[in-house]
Structure 1
């Protein structure tokens, strides 16, 4: 059951980062492996969305419910697809200097023990690439802040078959 926790500081506000993460419909524009999205329902507080994730000839569709608590928290719970379960959370806190701290966590399990074992070998690197992609998207949308990204990044990964 892979788990990943990461904290980053970015030169953008909690509101800006909340808006970026909550804009699931645009994920295919900047997230690696996301090839398509479909928003089934969307309100200020909740969204149900499908993500089609692809790598080479493999394509899988994941349906998730996204709970939005502006501007401090986004929680994602898995509804349907190839996983056994998935839960991830984003927490955004303004730093009082125009930037914010982001805490990101994800916990999931594959239905297949073999696939979980294989994925565990690249899991941490793939999640770092994903969080780097959110940061690069923020730079593209909001312009790199003068302070730049202040490398207060920490993470831990856990993989148990």
Structure 2
């Protein structure tokens, strides 16, 4: 599967973005194609979570291990579901205007059909997801 790397300078603090990305249970409220989020385990440094994702005729549940390195890094690895592997990180670098988000994702489906379908829209879908996180931050952290 192709990988996607993206960096964006935004007007929110690393702590705000960390809290937003770490709130996996709220993803269905704003993240495209996310139809459910279930936290199986949670402490201050680790989440085990399942995301129900639907796109077109496909619906899958992905289990992941989310390691929390407050306030500047979140690493996500594959736990269970339809993938061969998943490698994903968010890094929040302080900047005088807010922070720079460094986002990386790489994954591969077990199913060749799913792999082919996702390959057609991969970069567009991931860019839309990163934009959804930034819009959510703008919505909840907007200053009056």
State if a TM-score over 0.5 links the two structures.
yes
| 8 A Cα contact 1:37 1:52, kept in partner | yes
Structure 2 unmatched runs, 5+: none
Q: Does 1:25 align with 2:13?
A: no
Report the Cα offset of residue 73 of structure 1: 0.4
Count, aligned residues? 144
Q: Does 1:123 align with 2:122?
A: yes
Which structure's relative contact order is higher, taking Cα pairs within 8 Å and 6+ residues apart?
1
Q: Give the alignment of 1:39-118 within 5 angstroms.
A: 39-95=39-95, 97-118=96-117
The CA distance in 1 between the partners of 2:72 and 2:82, in whole Å, is 29
Q: Does 1:133 align with 2:132?
A: yes
- Off by >4 Å, runs of 4+ in structure 1: none
Q: CA RMSD in A?
A: 1.4
TM-score by length of 1: 0.85
Higher helix share: 2
1:122 aligned counterpart, secondary structure: helix
The answer for the alignment partner of 1:5 in structure 2 is 5
The CA distance in 2 between the partners of 1:115 and 1:28, in whole Å, is 22
1:32 aligned counterpart, secondary structure: coil
Report which of the two structures shows the higher radius of gyration computed on alpha carbons: 1
Greater Cα shift, 117-126 or 21-30:
117-126
TM-score by length of 2: 0.95
The CA distance in 2 between the partners of 1:28 and 1:94, in whole Å, is 27
